[in-house]
């Protein structure tokens, strides 16, 4: 039996990863989550999945989990997420550094084979180049959330250098899918469109993003595990760059909605003007084309209507 720990596993990406992992009958998954933003109803039902409510930023909570199980692999996905939430609670964001240190210390001491870390596209800040490349694009953000992710990456590299603890860092761009909360733009827009409600955009909508369907994200994580991508950084996203206004109009067209688009004042900070990854490494891992936005949105509509 191979044992996995997923911190923050009641979130969108963590719960989706757990669902895929337990399809393998020799895998056992343990999830620890404080449920501050995650939801227990996202978790798959399986005798090989154990949920523990706890806070990874509290050493005693995490040490208790490591005492109960011997983990082969750890996916550290627990974090305060969401632009508005992270801007409103910067101290809570900075406390996530404690969780990073706790994970690495306990993993090193207990013989974990590799630790996977959910970093973020936010580390790039306002880009000096598009697409944003893992090696050449400077890390340019001053926001607490991005700083914590950047510090986390440094901790992972340092633990590997000093203690030989292997790592893989995922720089997640915008992942979307059926189980994602309405805190995020795609489900927020899509559910509003399906209900005939207005779609609200901060600013003029010319800020760009790229949107990666959850299946592509999870398959990248699992293949990085099996294909042994140790001590490396992977952008995980989609290389189709589009404005938020284009996203809204595409959602209206696919859903057949007549909802109105309403522009709100631009956010004072945190809304980077451009974001699009270089996914050369990701495509090499997947060995296939990425899911198109059209296909991903149609899958979400089918799920919402089921």
Q: Are 107 and 100 in contact (CB under 8 A)?
A: no
* From 27, 73, 124, 145, the catalytic residue: 145
User: What is the rounded CA–CA span in Å between residue 217 and residue 278?
Assistant: 15
Q: Find all residues with CB under 8 Å of 53, minimum gap 6, and list them.
A: 32, 33, 34, 35
Active site residue 159: no
DSSP state for residue 37 in the 8-state scheme: S
Q: Find all residues with CB under 8 Å of 201, minimum gap 6, and list them.
A: 244, 245, 248, 261, 262, 263, 264
Q: Is residue 238 classed exposed, middle or buried when 0-12, 13-18 and 19+ CB atoms within 10 A define those classes? A: buried
Q: Which residues of 155-175 are buried (b: 16+ CB within 10 A; e: fewer)?
A: bbeebbeeeebbbbbbbbbbb
Catalytic residues: 145
């Amino acid at each position: 039996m191979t044992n996995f720990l997923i911190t923050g596993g009641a979130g969108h990406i963590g719960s989706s990863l757990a669902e895929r992992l337990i399809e393998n009958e020799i895998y056992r998954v343990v999830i620890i989550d404080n449920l501050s933003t995650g939801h227990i109803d996202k978790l798959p039902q399986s005798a090989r999945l154990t949920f523990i409510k706890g806070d990874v930023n509290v050493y005693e909570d995490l040490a208790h989990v490591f005492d109960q199980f011997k983990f082969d692999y750890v996916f550290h996905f627990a974090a305060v997420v969401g632009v508005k939430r992270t801007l409103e609670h910067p101290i809570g964001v900075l406390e996530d550094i404690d969780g990073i240190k706790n994970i690495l210390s306990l993993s090193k001491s207990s013989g974990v084979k590799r630790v996977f870390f959910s970093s973020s596209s936010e580390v790039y800040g306002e880009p000096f180049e598009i697409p944003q490349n893992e090696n050449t694009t400077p890390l340019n953000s001053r926001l607490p959330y991005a700083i914590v992710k950047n510090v986390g990456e440094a901790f992972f590299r340092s633990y590997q250098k000093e203690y030989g603890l292997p790592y893989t860092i995922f720089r997640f761009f915008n992942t979307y899918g059926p189980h994602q909360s309405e805190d995020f733009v795609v489900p927020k827009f899509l559910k509003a469109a399906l209900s005939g409600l207005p779609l609200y955009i901060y600013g003029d909508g010319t800020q760009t993003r790229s949107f990666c369907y959850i299946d592509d994200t999870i398959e990248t994580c699992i293949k990085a595990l099996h294909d042994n991508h140790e001590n490396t950084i992977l952008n995980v996203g989609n290389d189709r760059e589009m404005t938020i206004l284009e996203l809204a109009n595409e959602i209206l067209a696919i859903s057949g909605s007549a909802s109105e688009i309403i522009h709100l004042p631009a956010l004072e900070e945190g809304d980077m003007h451009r974001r699009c990854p270089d996914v050369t490494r990701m495509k090499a891992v997947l060995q296939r084309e990425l899911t198109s936005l059209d296909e991903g949105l149609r899958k979400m509509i089918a799920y919402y209507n089921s």
